[in-house]
A and B are shown apart, each in its own frame.
Chain A
């Protein structure tokens, strides 16, 4: 059976699933419950100077009846007394010696403040530190959080201060509220960070109440931009993660993957794209800590099926598969095929192709069931019909190469081959 034990920056945990720095990790009570449930470790809710939270802090995006496809918050860093947090962290470290304890920090923007905070943190026996350079609200007004993460120069400077004092591994958590995460990542790596984690939340407005006209969350008739996370952000996080794996200045740095991970499948995807372990927040806030059971069992079964014995064997395997557009094979051609035995005649493939794609599906009227067939010569192989089809494997994309050889855009241009074949 696969061994889920995971080592990240030398910090060992029984599985690669950590709880991200957020309310699930903000006090002894929660963290104990999480670790009892089986989580590999926690990144303690960000500590720093004293803050005050508002009431009414979360909002979400529901989609076709599914709750919390996307989740939004306007909370600040921990609003509990620093000493209490530190005391509880020390207690957890003592009681759960086999679990990872990382403490997220966001000090005031000066060297002394960082040094003091790091000292106090290390005194708890914690195994690592995560620098919160990503919080997109509340803290930025005070020159902290995302403001630091958005400016590579400042970020580098802060990391240098931190590395002067830290004796345990340091992870820098990146903000996604930038055009590219690479400049800041490069800067903090140059500043000496041991690891990177991403993503923090994405600035957002989840919606507007159509009765009050006030955007969510409603705070006494007003609202603010919040930080977006949950399943909706996963594709964005995966892309940002991959850019670090593809960049020579950052691709050797261990990355903790975060952003929209809800299932073991999501976690495997993050790891295939370069995450050495993963962190989860929204999925736990949605269902509670018990989701750890399936995260572990699903991962373990998948690893067995694929023949991976340890979690580091497949990290990054998918990165080389991402290339530049001009290196894609233009001779690779696929055509949709509808399995008439599986077709339930919903017509979704037809109407989407007809209205919005390449008019490549034929409709033969029937009462009440129409018959839909592919016009192969019109099909560009865009995948849309397959994506909208509600029946698994009813529509498959069949390879019908345009030519035997691999032919990319660069070669295509050099040879002056014809354009606009459709």
Chain B
């Protein structure tokens, strides 16, 4: 049965506590910082989408120049504080650390980055400012990582930035999507405030493009527009039984976790999670941490083809989630309008598909799993309609520089790349800001 209040206060707190606790003392950070070899043209830096100069900031921690370390990070990535908690570093900087080649544990780059950036937010170290003279005006739609990064960079260049955000808070999926044991909504709010501290950015919440404001108006009133609206609606499974009570999509399930009291989130006894991406992992682990008795993840390919990282999969396993490989949802059965079981097709791997991964092929056999809740996490569809209605089209150029088919209209982040990581969105915001400056100032 799906219900709320499965755990007591202390259990909720423990289950959603920080998964990667920070260094608590300078000694801890210092020992780790001193392990760093200070590589030249460092693989970690080259593996960071925002190219943070990792050896430099780590050396600065070692010399107790924490302010310098923080600035080194923020110079490349204004969400360096948030990224230190949410980045899948095992496939980025830490995955490239040369210690891996010695079969030694990589430098704890994320923890060190957190060590350097946390005090910047706590003490409101503002390294950047916006000149008081403003010569241009730019509208940014969406206050997620891409929008904020772009706005922050533009503000420093003397641009008056107005952000329009449909939700009541900034941060985008950082605030409304990322798992609670990585960042709290409070932290996200603090980070947004710190970023806005640069000055010159006006932000209007509860304003939705296409409803409360139109692109044409923005184009008319501003010198340029940056679209950073993220990915949209959850991709439907398009199977029978999808409309039954108890079938939810991961994004709204997680949105509730991020915005409501944990005890008020309904969760089933036996939960099936469809998909094996980061969102699926987050939905499965958090369902378990909310008190679901049994959580089963269902993925149509094998572990080799999974989109999440090993570290994420380990997390799901450690949380006690069960995993069924080579299974695709066939239909969902119910009683009295409520989910009772999910029927899955058994798959085998066939030829490689467009992504280069071997694609799943239905064997024709099925199996049935008794469940009372199904969480769909098979990806989100971009806001195609919203964008195409107003005539915006993306091209390779959009991926590279943020420019679109419309003059003065730029875009970046999840809405362009189809949904990657926070750090990619930040980089896209940075790149777009540079393109916008080129466009505005020649």
Contacts and interface: CB of A to CB of B under 8 A. Distances in A.
B34 A65 contact: yes
Contact of A363 (B37, B41, B44): B41
Interface residues of A, number: 17
B101 A345 contact: yes
Contacts of A368: 43-44, 46-47, 96
A344 B40 contact: no
A350 interface: yes
Given A347-B39, A348-B38, A368-B46, A64 B62 contact: yes
Contact of A348 (B37, B44, B99): B37
Interface in A36-82: 64-66
Given A344-B98, A345-B98, A370 B41 contact: yes
A351 B39 CA distance: 9
Interface in B21-36: 30-31, 33-34
A390 B98 CA distance: 10
Contacts of B96: 368-369
Contact of B37 (A346, A367, A370): A346
Contacts of A344: 98-99, 101-102
B40 A346 contact: yes
A350 B42 CA distance: 12
A370 B42 CA distance: 9
A348 B31 contact: no
Contacts of B47: 368
A390 B37 contact: yes
B46 A346 contact: no
A345 B62 CA distance: 22
B69 to A, nearest CB: 15
B43 A350 contact: no
Interface in B61-107: 62, 96, 98-99, 101-102
Interface string A287-307: 000000000000000000000
A368 B33 CA distance: 21
With a 10 A CB-CB cut-off, give which of A66, A345, A391 has the most chain B CB atoms.
Answer: A345
A367 B46 contact: yes
Nearest to B95: A368
B185 to A, nearest CB: 34
Contacts of A351: 40-41
Interface string A342-366: 0011111011000000000001000
Nearest to B46: A368
A65 B30 contact: yes
Contacts of A345: 39, 43, 98, 101
A346 B99 CA distance: 9
Contacts of B101: 344-345
Contacts of A367: 46
A346 B106 CA distance: 13
A388 B101 CA distance: 17
Contact of B34 (A64, A346, A350): A64
Nearest to A210: B64
A391 B102 CA distance: 8
A346 B98 contact: yes
A173 to B, nearest CB: 36
A347 B42 contact: yes
A123 B210 CA distance: 103
A344 B39 CA distance: 10
A347 B98 CA distance: 10
A65 to B, nearest CB: 3
A168 B381 CA distance: 94
Contacts of A370: 41
A391 B104 CA distance: 12
A347 B38 CA distance: 9
A95 to B, nearest CB: 41
A65 B102 contact: no
A361 to B, nearest CB: 11
A346 B43 CA distance: 8
B418 to A, nearest CB: 22
A3 B42 CA distance: 50
Nearest to A63: B34
Interface in A319-363: 344-348, 350-351, 363
A346 B54 CA distance: 13
Given A346-B98, A347-B39, 9 more contacts: A64-B34, A64-B62, A65-B30, A345-B98, A347-B40, A348-B38, A350-B41, A351-B41, A370-B41
14 contacts: A64-B62, A65-B31, A65-B34, A344-B99, A345-B98, A345-B101, A346-B98, A347-B39, A347-B41, A348-B37, A348-B40, A368-B44, A369-B43, A390-B37
Interface of B: 30-31, 33-34, 37-44, 46-47, 62, 96, 98-99, 101-102
